[in-house]
Amino acid sequence: MLNPGESSAEILKAWPGMRHAPNPRLELFTAPGFLPPELCEELMHLIDIKRRPSTIADPNGDDYFRTSETCDLEANEPAVAELEKRLYELNRIDPAHGEPIQGQRYEVGQEFKAHTDYFETNSSDYDKFCSVAGQRTWTFMIYLNTVESGGATRFKVIKKTFQPEQGRLLAWNNRRADGTGNAATLHHAMKVRKGLKYVITKWYRERPWG
């Protein structure tokens, strides 16, 4: 039986249009057109209002590791509530296990270098970020616009790249079957070459958030 903070391949494959990126090293899925254009536009507007320089949980000395802007979106915003509803219909993860929805904005030249979403057990901030809600389980990421050039998401270990396309969802399990972090989820938000890139990210935890 699944933990309330988890989804599964069987649940996600039941979604119309869901595609499984076949690779034995990780569970990775994509669904084109998951969000309609009008909802994408509303979410981009909220990101523009609230955006601030992005940070990383465990600084590594590279000031250019993550150069985008980011924000946490308020759950009481109608567009955010609609997004949460759609995500629950898709993944069946107890909403109490979800982190606040995060929005990101990338300008030309901005990127987020290769990283994983789970917290490394030997990192200085592991206890700080995992002591209450536990490790991250699944990531759900949605492109809010089609980027003119660049801005792809590249999974470096399995050599799989996704181009930003409005409404497309990516989803992956951050852990192996034994519950440890899966290094094959290493991914790079590549530099935008022309235009802007807007993204939504939703992370879930082993235990209720907060």
pLDDT digit string, tens, across residues 110-119 = 999 999 999 9
> 150 lies in a domain?
yes
Question: Number of structural domains, the chain?
Answer: 1
Residue range 120-138, pLDDT digits in tens: 887 777 888 898 999 999 9
In angstroms, rounded to a whole number, what is the distance separating the alpha carbons of residues 111 and 68?
6
Cβ atoms of residues 95 and 162 within 8 Å: no
Q: Quick one: pLDDT at residue 125?
A: 73
Looking at the chain, list the stretches that DSSP marks H as alpha helix, in order from N- to C-terminal side: 9-13, 37-50, 78-91, 126-130
Residue 55 pLDDT level (bands cut at 50, 70, 90) = low
Q: Is residue 29 part of a domain?
A: yes
Confidence label for 61 from pLDDT (cuts 50, 70 and 90): low
In a domain, 124, yes or no: yes
Domain containing residue 35: 9-205
Determine if the pTM surpasses 0.85.
yes
Output 112 or 28, whichever has higher pLDDT: 28
Question: Which backbone phi and psi does 143 adopt, to 5 degrees?
Answer: -80, 130
More confident residue, 11 or 2: 11
Query: What are the pLDDT digits (tens) for 96-107?
Result: 999 999 999 999
**CATH assignment of the domain containing 139:** 2.60.120.620
For residue 4, being part of any structural domain is answered with no
pLDDT per position as a tens digit, 156-179:
999 999 999 999 999 999 999 999
* Structure-block tokens of residue 5: 């903070």
Q: Tell me how long the chain is.
A: 210
Show Cβ contacts of residue 14 under 8 Å, excluding neighbours closer than 6 positions. Answer: none
Report whether pLDDT(210) > 90: no
